[in-house]
Amino acid sequence: ATDDELQSDAEQWLTSWAAPGSDPVSLRQLPAEVAADPQLARGEAYLRAGMRGEALRELDELRERYNDSPLAQYALALHFRDLGLYRHATLAAVRTGALSPAGLFASPLFIQRMAYPTYFSDLVEAEAAARGLDPLLIYSLIRQESFFERGARSFAAAQGLTQVIPSTAEWIANAIGWPNFQPDDIYKPYINVKFGTYYLFAALEMFDGNPYPALVGYNAGPGNAQYWLDQAATDDNDLYVEEISISEPKLYVRRVLAHLANYQRLYGK
């Protein structure tokens, strides 16, 4: 089925339980109340002015205020996607599915794929191919790290789509011979995806291709990943994950691999 057919299927499904009697195509338009919301206008004005952080905050609040409206969430998912606000679009799609009678994972393919999207596919596919990695693993990592928000920044100063910290970015730039690297370059998607993919590749090389310690290394540093591997003294990945004494990398590896299972299911690879 084409994307258009999948979208039509999703809109007929949404109509059936959220807007009986409506024209399914009308669901693409923001509900009048949302379209007239001053916070939408403010957020978009910030975006046009290049004030991305402020725009994201306003539009996040807007999205959360309509958290119980599947029609608002669906239309906002499309609207945010068109604005290039992929984190917001992804979260709105997740919420659309979550509000449905049988939940996200019983929702039509179009909704689920918007919840597990493949944004920046030209970059991801090229970098994954260059390193011999599964692109679906890169999407899974990006979804967990930043929800596809190019300007993402964490409390630990991790930056961009793949959440690379500045010291790691410097190390990667040297490792791959990237000329004249400037700290802010890491927010450029083509550089960020290249650097993050290389770092994951390096971690996979270190751990003989095993994604469990490699992902722990990506999140908590390869030294920690190796330490827990030594402590676990087992080839059983589940026992290895149990050995991890810090909750963040333990959750991280489980979530990224759960995302990967969904990407494989939804994109049939």
Q: What residues are annotated to the active site? A: 145
**Rounded Cα distance, 58 and 43, in Å:** 5
Tokens of 218: 């990506």
Other beta carbons within 10 Å of 170:
15
**Rounded Cα distance, 208 and 202, in Å:** 10
Tokens of 141: 């990592």
Contacts of 256 (CB under 8 A, 6+ apart): 137, 140, 141, 144, 215
User: Of 96, 102, 77, 75, nearest to 87 (Cα)?
Assistant: 77
**Rounded Cα distance, 14 and 3, in Å:** 16
Residue environment code for 121-149, b if the CB has 16+ CB neighbours within 10 A, otherwise e: eebbeebbeebebebbbbbbbbbbbbbbb
* 118 contacts 139 by C-beta, under 8 angstroms: yes
**How many angstroms separate the Cα of 215 from the Cα of each of 55, 167, 206, 225?**
32, 18, 11, 8
Residue environment code for 99-113, b if the CB has 16+ CB neighbours within 10 A, otherwise e: bbeeebeebbbbbbb
